[in-house]
Amino acid sequence: MSEALLRRLQTTEDKARARGLTRSNAERQRPINELVTEYPTFLCAKENMPEYVETTRRRLRKLVNATKTTGLPAFLGQVCG
């Protein structure tokens, strides 16, 4: 079972590489809400203080809501550009 899963995942990655897609390209195509939802989990995994994680989550959510964007490229364009 695990070998079949590994083969399937490798095939998926190989196909993506053949099309010129990288992991960072795939991440940029994800909806911003997914990334915002996952970020606190990432911060917790890095052993940040719970207060920091919650403050960061709240601030990020406010920023994303204020820009009214749905994707990372548009969000970065509004925030950085």
Give, in order, the Cα–Cα distances in Å from 41 to each of 18, 32, 35. 31, 15, 10
The pTM of the full predicted model, rounded to 2 decimals, is 0.61
Q: How confident is the model at residue 81 (pLDDT cuts 50, 70, 90)?
A: low
- Tokens describing residue 49: 């203080």
Q: Considering the chain, what is the average pLDDT of its residues? A: 83
Rounded CA-CA distance 57/41 in Å is 10
Rounded CA-CA distance 23/30 in Å is 11
For the segment 22-57, what is each residue's pLDDT rounded down to a tens digit?
777 777 778 888 888 999 999 999 999 999 999 999
The H-or-E segment that residue 26 falls in is helix 23-29
- Position 27 scores a pLDDT of 76
Provide the residue count of the chain.
81
